[in-house]
Structure 1
């Protein structure tokens, strides 16, 4: 007769993120609430949920479509819940038989039958509860798996501008907390409605069957008792919200203060004591709130104890008067009291259904919001077949312009450039001139607003993204290594590569000697973001990883800008070796690294203002010569 009500755990961070309770499978007809309301804080619709649904409403058919493949499993769960609730209602009638018939008459056979029946009811409801939990968990996990993988795959297709304008924590929250919270809320909402409605109706019918007079009395007692229960429960609601906000703050402080980068920052700034004091303050506030929460909880439990003591007392009192007892037996009185006490939980659960529905729909709204994002870089509907062995590597940029979303002016305007197969193009210019933007178009990290970028005469937008990434590789100044072994970092580029191939690219990147000297060689863990290695070592590992794909076109985005002179020479030597026989597009930070490029293009405010070889541009005495002069490079033949 009991049921479990599950609701999403909410964090109080201003991101509006949701957390799953961690329990998978939702409500169960065999669960327990533990007193009136189950000890839960009173539930009200979160204003953030209402705002989310007002901004992004969710059509019910779209939600139903997620569960449509599991319709028969859901029907089975509902049938199990109804069956369990109905079977459980036999217990009070068996109890009445024991008290009124079997015991007074000393009828051993009847006593054994009724007690056996009570035990059988318990066994049957327990088995049905296990089956119901199993089936509902399978449904919930299947839906959660589909949403989680769909969101992850869809976000993988988003362009870089989405991730630059979206906080990483928000993406992670929607992918984990929101999806888990949705599964918990939705499965529990569906099973809670079925369980609570069946139990409430069945219990009410059983109460009337036992005594319609006492049932009328319960109708008068139940509403004020439920109101008092919810009223007292609100004492803990605000305290719980404050606790969740502080816990979110504490987790943030732990992440900021105890991560590798956080510890490095605090040590370099001497901020360790200040961060410890801040953490201690948050911890003290949590202590105060926990004390207040426990006191509020004790007051609530005290109120519940009074209510639970008062209601049976009133029933016993009514049973003592001839006008209201109707010749009631003791067995009937005991059975009725048990039913009347047990009706609180399903009634309270039904009162919370509206809140659960709004909560679950708000979570769906947030998840669907990500699924509905249109990727600015899309897979072609009919991709052009690409024979990787036949790719020559000619890159042609035709009248390309590009504007970032929300920007007031173009980042690139009318750019036209050609890099012959096996040739090299260097992009130079001041910060903000559009160099990185142009290079990102060659890698198809973004698509031109107008114009097109061609590879061997084929528009990049007509090539499958997987095919394109196999022939165009990129190395940037912001090297990212996975928190895994050297081997795993390399295999991330080509999982099927052999150890001989790994050592070959490490040799080409001039980092094989370093890896051989590591304690575990290829199996040495690089640490968070490669913290085990220096900047130059990480850069050469990144070069090796890119070379493992053996791309025909190589994009080098200021790959040596953050390095000292000695390290730069080492990495530049690795880059020069990597570039042999490939078409290369290089963004230059130090102009000395691009003197030998076939073509140097000078960008200024998104336009190509000069292009030619190093000698040709120097001879013109234009923008390139001015940049060299400003860089004060030793030995640079700057014209008078």
Structure 2
């Protein structure tokens, strides 16, 4: 599924890309090979050394077979013991020198190969980092991990050894064929006459192997995604609470069996063919012995020349030397086809368009240069998707975000209903703007437009009059802080999670931020204090503790603009009140755009924006909107009046 399930961003770039590839029906072999070769360019000097080593070992490999003829015909045949000793010494020294060169070549092979693999992983990771949020909400995490680990890991053997193996085997085969042809053209033709047919069959087998390899990697990616989803803390908790262990186990076993079958099929493809080739190569020497032996016995010349025992032994030695590289080349061709399938998947990700990126000479503003005015000017946005593929949501996606996406449906013209329609408002520096509306109305989408997590389709989002498209993304991330209801903490210490906001912050600044978020005392009660490891996604902490650490992290960042989803409905009253107390210093003096769930936040807002079906249908203060008697008044009666009584009683 992966890239085909992506949607979002400006103009549906990924969907357009997929459609373009389908339309063109391109054959990627030549282009893929060219791009793989380009990956070796930074290491061209090391590659030159490897080629030199291959040439040296190839030439050295011819020495001993050719010496055999001299030993039989010149040394033994003529009774020359001194010459025999010289030839034997050379035959001892040659493989030793070749062996040393081979070890050095192997070191270079692995150094180059691992460097190329490292570069591929770095490029892929960097490219994925730059993808828009819509890609990650539409692609399973396990699918992404599979591309980085399984696919890149799957080409390791080809990158590390196969390229040099091909060059080595080709040079060995060519040099050996030339030597064989010089000795006996007829026997050479007999030995290699069926080679073109074998090459054609190998090409066909390789194509089947490539298709199977692609299917195998898809199955492996699906299995990886399944493991990531079901064996994460969230997944295992959901599975246990719903008693779905057996169902998950059955699904895993089915996919695992499918993968096992594909792996077996992939390994067996062409085995009968290669068995036939091996058998043929094994009986060819017998045919050579028959032809050459008959010539010697009958004293009949072949092509005007006579064969000797030394010639026969030398030719069959060369013949055995050529069968291995030819067999390797035929087998490698099949393996390369399988590896090309993996390279196709890697390049498929690297070719995905980055939909949200910096303009040339994008502005880089410091926080002290910004007053904090946020303005939307006739903003419109619609989620795009490839209608031929289903979309899988990330398990960590927020409920609000999910509701908005589920609300996006096709109309009669087969186009998606906009998530935002002609949205315009201005929040002055230091003001608190509360976004209120039913679930799926577009509130989260609206907040994601400010830091350019999504790109507007039309209209402008600006900060202090600067279009956010003109600002560098790194600058935007420094100016804006976000606190969401889905708190994410790394599997690291509390200290590391807090310093993620500012690596250069001092312990005093970190503790001050924790105190402002009303979490310092709780941290000091833990056995390891700020060095306490919070576990995956912070599951060793309560929901309220995680939320307050997230707030402390943003306080430490000290952004000029704050985007806040303060959902606390899942927390107990005590934790909720602590978080509310932590939010007050966070919002003080900052321009705040808050998806409001608490009546106290709504009442404190300088302006309330009521959102419904992607539009701002009402705006004003709490009292003004109540008097208007519209959607806000109805929401207040349905949702907030009871909350007001609870807050009053709690106070």
Q: After TM superposition, is the score higher than 0.5?
A: yes
Matched, 1:435 2:408: no
Q: Distance in 2 between matches of 1:354 and 1:344?
A: 15
Relative to 1, partners in 2 of residues 1:227 and 1:106: Cα closer, same or farther, differing over 3 Å? farther
Is contact 2:211–2:341 with CA below 8 Å preserved after alignment? no
Q: Deviations over 1:117-139 (max 9, x none)?
A: 22322123223333333444444
Give the match for residue 404 of structure 1.
Answer: 383
Q: Distance in 2 between matches of 1:602 and 1:306?
A: 80
Give the match for residue 110 of structure 1.
Answer: 83
Is contact 2:166–2:329 with CA below 8 Å preserved after alignment? yes
Is contact 2:367–2:559 with CA below 8 Å preserved after alignment? no
Relative to 1, partners in 2 of residues 1:108 and 1:276: Cα closer, same or farther, differing over 3 Å? farther
Displacement of 1:533 in angstroms is 1.6
Give the match for residue 401 of structure 2.
Answer: none
Displacement of 1:108 in angstroms is 5.0
1:526 paired residue among 534, 548, 553:
534
Give the match for residue 387 of structure 1.
Answer: 366
Relative to 1, partners in 2 of residues 1:344 and 1:261: Cα closer, same or farther, differing over 3 Å? farther
Is contact 1:225–1:307 with CA below 8 Å preserved after alignment? no
Is contact 2:131–2:354 with CA below 8 Å preserved after alignment? yes
Q: Deviations over 1:206-226 (max 9, x none)?
A: 223344443243135767888
Give the match for residue 64 of structure 2.
Answer: 91
Is contact 2:433–2:609 with CA below 8 Å preserved after alignment? yes
1:609 paired residue among 614, 617, 628:
617
Is contact 2:60–2:94 with CA below 8 Å preserved after alignment? yes
**TM-score with structure 2 length normalisation?**
0.78
Relative to 1, partners in 2 of residues 1:206 and 1:429: Cα closer, same or farther, differing over 3 Å? same
1:148 paired residue among 117, 121, 144:
121
Matched, 1:570 2:578: yes
1:268 paired residue among 241, 246, 249:
241
Is contact 1:483–1:525 with CA below 8 Å preserved after alignment? yes
Displacement of 1:537 in angstroms is 1.7
Matched, 1:82 2:55: yes
What does 1:228-627 align with in structure 2 at a 5 Å threshold? 254-255=227-228, 258-276=231-249, 306-307=279-280, 309-322=282-295, 323=300, 328-351=307-330, 365-406=344-385, 408-627=416-635
Matched, 1:201 2:177: no
Q: Deviations over 1:516-546 (max 9, x none)?
A: 2223222222212222122222211211222
Q: Return 618-627 or 291-300, whichever deviates more.
A: 291-300
Q: Distance in 2 between matches of 1:311 and 1:514?
A: 81
Q: Return 167-176 or 104-113, whichever deviates more.
A: 104-113
Give the match for residue 168 of structure 1.
Answer: 141
Relative to 1, partners in 2 of residues 1:238 and 1:455: Cα closer, same or farther, differing over 3 Å? closer
Relative to 1, partners in 2 of residues 1:485 and 1:565: Cα closer, same or farther, differing over 3 Å? same
Displacement of 1:473 in angstroms is 0.2
> What value does the CA root-mean-square deviation take over the aligned residues?
4.2
2:187 paired residue among 196, 209, 214:
214
Q: Distance in 2 between matches of 1:382 and 1:501?
A: 34
Relative to 1, partners in 2 of residues 1:109 and 1:513: Cα closer, same or farther, differing over 3 Å? farther
Q: Distance in 2 between matches of 1:287 and 1:374?
A: 34
Relative to 1, partners in 2 of residues 1:158 and 1:627: Cα closer, same or farther, differing over 3 Å? same
Is contact 1:485–1:524 with CA below 8 Å preserved after alignment? yes
Q: Return 182-191 or 160-169, whichever deviates more.
A: 182-191
Displacement of 1:156 in angstroms is 1.9
Q: Deviations over 1:389-422 (max 9, x none)?
A: 2432222223322222356232222222222222
Give the match for residue 405 of structure 2.
Answer: none
Q: Distance in 2 between matches of 1:95 and 1:378?
A: 67
Displacement of 1:202 in angstroms is 1.0
Relative to 1, partners in 2 of residues 1:50 and 1:345: Cα closer, same or farther, differing over 3 Å? farther
Q: Distance in 1 between matches of 2:462 and 2:104?
A: 59
What's the secondary structure of 2:283's corresponding residue? helix
Unaligned runs of 5+ in 2: 5-20, 386-414, 646-651
Q: Distance in 1 between matches of 2:205 and 2:223?
A: 29
**TM-score with structure 1 length normalisation?**
0.79
Is contact 2:117–2:152 with CA below 8 Å preserved after alignment? yes
Is contact 2:379–2:459 with CA below 8 Å preserved after alignment? yes
Relative to 1, partners in 2 of residues 1:609 and 1:165: Cα closer, same or farther, differing over 3 Å? same
Unaligned runs of 5+ in 1: 1-12, 17-47
Q: How many residues align?
A: 594
Give the match for residue 391 of structure 2.
Answer: none
What's the secondary structure of 2:380's corresponding residue? strand
Is contact 2:441–2:614 with CA below 8 Å preserved after alignment? yes
Displacement of 1:320 in angstroms is 2.5
Displacement of 1:501 in angstroms is 2.0
Q: Return 395-404 or 620-629, whichever deviates more.
A: 395-404
Relative to 1, partners in 2 of residues 1:128 and 1:635: Cα closer, same or farther, differing over 3 Å? closer
Displacement of 1:554 in angstroms is 1.0
Is contact 1:560–1:572 with CA below 8 Å preserved after alignment? no
Give the match for residue 19 of structure 1.
Answer: none
Q: Distance in 1 between matches of 2:132 and 2:515?
A: 33
Q: Deviations over 1:350-400 (max 9, x none)?
A: 446766776666555544444444433221322334232243222222332
Relative to 1, partners in 2 of residues 1:338 and 1:254: Cα closer, same or farther, differing over 3 Å? farther
Relative to 1, partners in 2 of residues 1:53 and 1:85: Cα closer, same or farther, differing over 3 Å? farther
